[in-house]
Structure 1
Amino acid sequence: MPLLETRALNKRFGGLHVTNNVDLALETGQVHCLIGPNGAGKSTLFRLILGEHPPSSGAILFAGEDITALKPFQRIRRGMSVKFQVPGIFKALSVRQNLEIAMQHHYDPASLSREIGALLDFLNLTADAGRLAGNLSHGQKQWLEIGMAVSLKPRLLLLDEPTAGMSPEETHATGEMVKRLNAEGMTVLAVEHDMAFVRQVADQVTVLHLGKVFAQGTIDAIVADERVAAIYLGQATAQEAAHDTSHAQTGGVHA
């Protein structure tokens, strides 16, 4: 039985059909990456799974239970946790205080400090425990929020573009964190653009295009699929054409 499953999931905003009969199955213990061109419907699908948007039709199951009508907090109580693209940390508090807030109601005082210490070590933030979170680098802020998301040891960790804005070195380190979490038994669903990260972590990949499941399989199968290359190449070509038009209109002057 899949840990997470969507069945013929649809979402319409007025006349716009953003998510179109999406069938997705995420097995327990997998790292599953969701990729696709801009506008493919990835973020909408993510928010349907979280319960931020109600579907127009279809169903969402978690560990065999129909959770389609549940609120986000109810899904979190059942074992989901999420890290959004933009870090939602408390910038005026220290790194340690951020983790304390996330964990204080779930551990007794005797074990809380030990658990925070272990998490700081995992996040490579031990030396920064006393720093204000707002003073961390971009990558460190992303890691801190990942730490807050995993502090409750969820069954399913949802990551929305976890490496956005990171350097290649930070991206690789994030991938190693995800692999370690997965080795410890955590199932992961990540929306991601960085194909180096996807290749590093993914057991399975789903490609969305125009709101539909376009392809599914291992990363090697996806990379070798000429249809997948075509939709990415087509997007890149369109962006280049728009850039060339803008360049010509401005006489080649860049801001």
Structure 2
Amino acid sequence: MAELLQFKSVSRRFGGFMAVRDVDFGVAEGEVHCLIGPNGAGKSTLFKLAVGTYAPTSGTVHFRGQNVTHEASFARVQRGMSIKMQAPSVFRALPVRQNLHIAMQHHVPLPDLSREEERLLALLGLSADATRLAGELSHGQQQWLEIGMAMALKPTLLLLDEPTAGLSPEETFRTGELVLRLAVGGVTVLAVEHDMAFVRQIATRVTVLHLGQVFAHGSVAEIVADPRVAEIYLGMPHVA
């Protein structure tokens, strides 16, 4: 399967601190790929390198076979990336439907807008809340709305930065169901995440970062069974 997003020997230095060091990995087209690791592992930095917030100190980032290492975020979006950051940034004073309308108005033909709004509202489980102000939604519902706004761009790759932060277990599970529905619909997903129950629910493959480097890589089953991963997460001793 072709790799949609690739990091090739990517490093990022901040002064004397190397936040990411010689990272090589790819996100295959059609998969849900989770990026995990303990605090300070370099996950957020690598995510920002993917979306164009940072440029690498060395190495290259490729998307859909093109070198995008020094492209701005908006240029990557135009190529087919869409980004959902950790904190919801919906238009709280506007109705749910209008949030979606604003997100898709330049990407969906006018005759199709209403139908596409209805489709996304149903996909997000927000049809009954279409006329409510976005600020009245629960935190979880706001997260789903913002995922919908990201999906309004019809991306080939959806990047999610800790999409379950602050959610209840039920909201976390429903977020996982939403991500899986998106994947079935043909969207490739890269999610930075802490919640291992969520990772088990959604991931096709998992990459573990530790101290800025790729520490482990494989299926969910392989990562969960790896005693080295338990060691860096839980401080459990590992005997080789």
TM above 0.5, one fold?
A: yes
Q: What residue number does 1:229 align with?
A: 230
Query: Could you give the per-residue CA deviations for residues 18-70 of structure 1, whole angstroms, max 9, x where no partner exists?
Result: 00100011110110000000010000000001110111000001111111011
How far apart, in 1, do the equivalents of 2:148 and 2:185 lie? 15
2:82 maps to 1:81: yes
1:105 shift after superposition: 1.3
How far apart, in 1, do the equivalents of 2:100 and 2:61 lie? 30
Q: SS at 1:92's partner residue?
A: coil
The correspondence of residues 1-255 of structure 1 with structure 2, limited to 5 A, is 1-234=2-235
TM norm structure 2 = 0.96
Q: SS at 1:90's partner residue?
A: coil
Q: SS at 1:10's partner residue?
A: strand
How far apart, in 1, do the equivalents of 2:235 and 2:18 lie? 21
Query: Could you give the per-residue CA deviations for residues 73-132 of structure 1, whole angstroms, max 9, x where no partner exists?
Result: 000000000101100111111111111110111222221011001100111111111111
TM norm structure 1 = 0.91
Unpaired runs of 5+ residues, structure 2, are none
Runs of 4+ residues over 2 Å off in structure 1 = none
Unpaired runs of 5+ residues, structure 1, are 236-255
1:234 shift after superposition: 2.1
How far apart, in 2, do the equivalents of 1:81 and 1:107 lie? 15
Query: Could you give the per-residue CA deviations for residues 172-221 of structure 1, whole angstroms, max 9, x where no partner exists?
Result: 11111111111111100000111111001101000000100000001111
How far apart, in 1, do the equivalents of 2:139 and 2:150 lie? 17
8 Å contact kept, 2:107–2:152: no
How far apart, in 1, do the equivalents of 2:235 and 2:152 lie? 40
